[in-house]
């Protein structure tokens, strides 16, 4: 009886080990799923992440004060992205990763419909300060129109300024934000753009290959910390898509192999 009990126990342990192995059944790491658990750990738990966000908004505060000293012919405005710029979606990334999955539009919309995303450190007090000085806030995001209700509810929940339909500019057809930025600029002087992705700032970064993204980053160097306020996002973004050459149909195994092939080692 003891012998049979031992065999059953070993088999049960073996089944449990296979079920909880990261990545593939061979125990290999799936960088697109398991890797995002590690980056989400940084976003959720690292004091350094919070410090980077606070640093960005401290600089933004100074830039607003400077802009207020300059005469303008139009009302002042800040154009900000939402995801990983003012709202923290790391719980979604964690849930997907624990299931061995990457981003999916359907599950993403289920998450945004909950209106449960927390705020990015420093975002809310900064935007409230800017609004108190008469600066209008526009939320320019590539969330879908179907996410409008949940997105507004999430912003209103925390008391974000200008959290209204006319200041929430969602994706319609194009993922590029350039045309939408230009529409805002027709009626307002945009003193600042905030985002976690370079395409939040300029069409120079719209679906460009890695080498061109890097070149245009250096060409725009004077804008960072001045008119462009960048928030850290180690979990996802065009930096990742560019690594895949924007081929999002790659399988997790193909993405894993590609990532390993382009990383430097010695």
Cβ 64 vs Cβ 125: under 8 Å: no
Question: Do residues 80 and 139 touch, judged by C-beta distance below 8 A?
Answer: yes
pLDDT for the residue 5: 39
Contact 138, 187 (CB under 8 A): no
Per residue in 176-223, pLDDT tens? 999 999 999 999 999 999 999 999 999 999 999 999 999 999 999 999
- List phi, psi (to 5°) of 139: -100, 100
pTM of the predicted structure, to 2 decimals:
0.89
Sort residue 198 into left (φ over 0), alpha (ψ -120 to 50) or beta. Answer: alpha
CATH 3.30.465.10 fits 29-262, yes or no: no
Q: Which two tokens stand for residue 203?
A: 């069409």
**For residues 22 and 31, what is the distance between their CA atoms, to the nearest angstrom?**
10
Q: CA torsion sign, 80 to 198 to 83 to 65?
A: negative
Residue 171 is predicted with a pLDDT of 97
135-to-67, 118, 128, 242 alpha-carbon distances in Å? 10, 23, 9, 34
Q: Specify the DSSP element, H or E, that contains 189.
A: strand 189-195
Q: Is the pLDDT of residue 17 over 50?
A: no
pLDDT in tens, 109-145: 999 999 999 999 999 999 999 999 999 999 999 999 9
Q: What is the pLDDT of residue 28?
A: 57
pLDDT digit string, tens, across residues 243-260 = 999 998 999 999 999 999
If you average pLDDT over residues 50-56, what whole number do you get? 98
């Amino acid at each position: 009886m003891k012998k049979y009990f031992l065999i059953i126990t070993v088999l049960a342990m073996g089944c449990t080990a296979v079920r909880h192995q990261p990545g593939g059944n061979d125990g290999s790491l799936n960088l697109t799923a398991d890797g995002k658990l590690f980056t989400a750990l940084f976003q959720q738990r690292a004091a350094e992440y919070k410090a980077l966000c606070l640093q960005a908004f401290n600089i933004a505060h100074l830039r607003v004060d400077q802009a207020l000293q300059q005469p303008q012919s139009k009302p002042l405005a800040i154009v900000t992205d939402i995801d990983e710029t003012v709202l923290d979606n790391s719980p979604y990334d964690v849930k997907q990763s624990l299931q061995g999955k990457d981003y999916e539009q359907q599950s993403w919309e289920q998450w945004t419909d909950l209106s449960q995303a927390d705020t990015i450190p420093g975002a809310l007090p900064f935007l409230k300060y800017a609004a108190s000085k008469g600066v209008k806030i526009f939320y320019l995001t590539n969330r879908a129109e179907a996410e409008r209700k949940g997105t507004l509810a999430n912003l209103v929940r925390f008391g974000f300024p200008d959290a209204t339909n006319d200041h929430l500019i969602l994706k319609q057809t194009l993922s590029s934000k350039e045309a939408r930025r230009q529409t805002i600029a027709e009626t307002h002087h945009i003193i600042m753009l905030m985002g976690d992705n370079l395409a939040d700032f300029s069409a120079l970064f719209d679906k460009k290959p890695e080498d061109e993204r890097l070149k245009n980053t250096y060409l725009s160097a004077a804008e960072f910390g001045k008119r462009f306020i960048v928030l850290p996002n180690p979990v996802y973004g065009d930096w990742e898509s560019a690594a895949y050459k924007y081929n999002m149909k790659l399988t997790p195994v193909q993405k894993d192999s590609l990532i390993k092939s382009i990383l430097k080692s010695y």
